[in-house]
Structure formats: C-alpha cells, structure tokens
Amino acid sequence: MAHRLLNPFDQRQVMRRQDFEIFHYNNPACCSCPPHQHDFFELFFLLNDRLDDIVEGIRYSMVPGNAMLVAPGQLHRPDVSGPPRSIDRFVLWISTEYVRSITDALPRLHYALWGDMTGRSLIQPDADTSALMRQLLFALHREDAHPEADSASMARSIIAQLLIHCSRSVASRTDIVPHKAELRYREIMRVYEHIVANLPDRDLTVSALAERFFMDKNTLTRQFKRQVGMTPGECIRRHRLEAVRQQIRRGAPMQQACAECGFSDYSAFYRAFRQAYGISPRDYAAQAAGSAQGGDERQEAPHS
C-alpha cells in the first residue's frame, strides 16, 4: 500500500534544510497562494484534480500525473478556478547546492536545469514515467519521514531519478522550439557521446573530433568546456582512466587494460592515473586484489 502520510500545510517559502524538503499536501490552501519566488528548485507533482500554474507570466494547465519544475528566481503561483477544494499533491524543494552536486556528474541534466528554462516548466511524462515518478515521490517522502542510516543515499538517488525524468520529459516534447544555446548543447552532447563510445580508439583526439563534427578545434574546446565543465582532452583522459580503473578492479592485466582503453604510452598513463587517484596503478591493483581476497576469505571462513 502506498505511503499516505500527509503534512500540515506550511505557508513559509524559505527552506530550513540545506538539502531538500518534501511535503505531501491534500488541502485547498494552494488556491490562495500569492505570486512568489524561491532561491531553490521546486517540483510540484499533481496527484488529483486540475489546476493552472503561472510561471514567469506563462500559464500552464496541469492534469493528474503532470508536474511543474520551477527554477530558482522564477516568479510563479498556482491558479485554481472554481470553489476551493482539496488538491492532492507533492511539493519537493531542492537547494541549488544539492542540485549542483547531482548535476555536476550528469552533463545532460546539468544543462537542462542550469540553462534557460523559460517555457519549459511543465512536465508531461508518459503514463509509465508518471507512475514511476509518483512511486519515487512516495518513497522519498517515506525515507524523509522515517529516516534510517542509509536514507541520505537513498534520497539522493531518488531525487536524481526524478530530475532526470523531468529533463527527459521536456526534451521529448515537440512543441518547444529549441533555443540556439540548446542546439549548441545538443551538438556538444553528440561529441561527448562519441567520446564515451569510442574510448579504445587511439586516434580519438581533439583534432579528430573537430574534423569529424565539422568544428574549429578552438571552438570545440571552448564550447565543450562551457557545456561539460572540462575540455575534450580532459574528458577523454578521465573516461579512459576510469575505464582502466574498473578493469583493474576486475583483475585485468595492467598492459591489457591500458591498451583496451586507448592508452598507447604506459608512462603517460602512469602519470595521469597517479595524478587522478593519488596512487600508482600497481599499488591500486594490489589494494583491489587484497580487498577481493579479504572478501573471499570472509565468505569462506567457517562458522564457529
């Protein structure tokens, strides 16, 4: 059975926590909510009835299963026509610092939330995604109401999933004309995806990428760093190092791992690995092997 704990309506518009706050309301109080803005993100998920939400002067009509994602600083207010009635909904507040800590490792989501969100507040997921978001919100509310030792990690995972579903829903809409900045972002994302898919290719260089995607090398580097937060060269090196690290943990021979992940020079790989992880590759391999052996020993130890 779904978790149905309801919160008493709180008229404050300021966060008390540094990460997130979630509320499950079922009352008519939102009908009279005046225009306001926050310094945090707000996700409003409608569970029943219908209402309009006005964000930066744009009116959006919501039905059950829809959501509104309001960015920091955007002026907004709900507008419910007809007599006051109970509106069942979730309200999730997420601090900018918490959102940034999630999106820094997710370039697509980073752009979706920190780019221009004008005209993009309404989230209209398909039926399956809407049902999943509903379940995630109930799960997050339950974790928040009855926290356990690992609830913070669970909450972070749930919020990341909710934000990703929001960004995917907006990206799939055909009624939104992409901004010029969004078109540039999509172009850079094609470069990013090509890098991730072709790490073993030793000819994967910034020059080769610029030629493949018909861009000037300097322009590619500048735009890539603006959108992804690192240069194409740094991105290639970081993903290759992580790929090698994962292979080492699985017990792959060092030279084989380097070759399969696109490194042609072991000394360059050694320096990059040590700089990235603060340990030599061989010491890391020894630690990984020791951890695996220790785990096996614990599993095989006889019970007393």
- Residue 125: the pLDDT is 94
Q: Is residue 151 part of a domain?
A: yes
CATH, residue 84:
2.60.120.280
Phi, psi of 210 (to 5 degrees): -60, -40
Residues 117 and 230 in one domain: no
**1 contact partners, CB below 8 Å, separation of at least 6:** none
Q: In what order do the strands lie in the sheet with 58-62?
A: 58-62, 51-55, 76-79
- Residue 178: the pLDDT is 55
Could you report the per-residue pLDDT of 129-152, keeping only the tens digit for each?
999 999 999 999 999 999 999 999
Phi, psi of 76 (to 5 degrees): -155, 160
Residues 280 and 142 in one domain: no
Reported in sequence order, the residue ranges of the chain that DSSP labels E, i.e. its strands, are: 20-27, 40-46, 51-55, 58-62, 67-70, 76-79, 87-95, 122-123
Domains of the chain: total: 2
Q: Is residue 206 part of a domain?
A: yes
Domain boundary among 124, 154, 171: 171
Q: Is residue 187 part of a domain?
A: yes
- Residue 62: the pLDDT is 93
- Residue 182: the pLDDT is 58
Distance of CA 203 to the CA centre of its chain: 31
- Residue 298: the pLDDT is 42
Residues 102 and 199 in one domain: no
Domain boundary among 132, 149, 171: 171
Low-confidence stretches of the chain (pLDDT beneath 70)? 1-4, 29-34, 174-183, 291-304
Q: Is residue 10 part of a domain?
A: no
**Exposed e or buried b per residue across 84-113, where buried means at least 16 C-beta atoms within 10 angstroms of its C-beta:** eeebbbbbbbbbbebbeebbeeebbbbbbb
Full DSSP string of 191-255: HHHHHHHTTT-TT--HHHHHHHTT--HHHHHHHHHHHHSS-HHHHHHHHHHHHHHHHHHTT--HH
Residues 154 and 206 in one domain: no
Q: In what order do the strands lie in the sheet with 122-123?
A: 20-27, 87-95, 40-46, 67-70, 122-123
Name the residue range of residue 267's domain. Answer: 180-290
Establish how many alpha carbons lie within 13 A of residue 125's alpha carbon, considering only the half-sphere containing its beta carbon.
23
**53 contact partners, CB below 8 Å, separation of at least 6:** 44, 59, 60, 62, 68, 76, 77, 78, 79, 121, 122
Residues 158 and 203 in one domain: no
* Separation of alpha carbons 195 and 214, rounded Å: 15
Global confidence as pTM: 0.62
Q: Is residue 12 part of a domain?
A: no
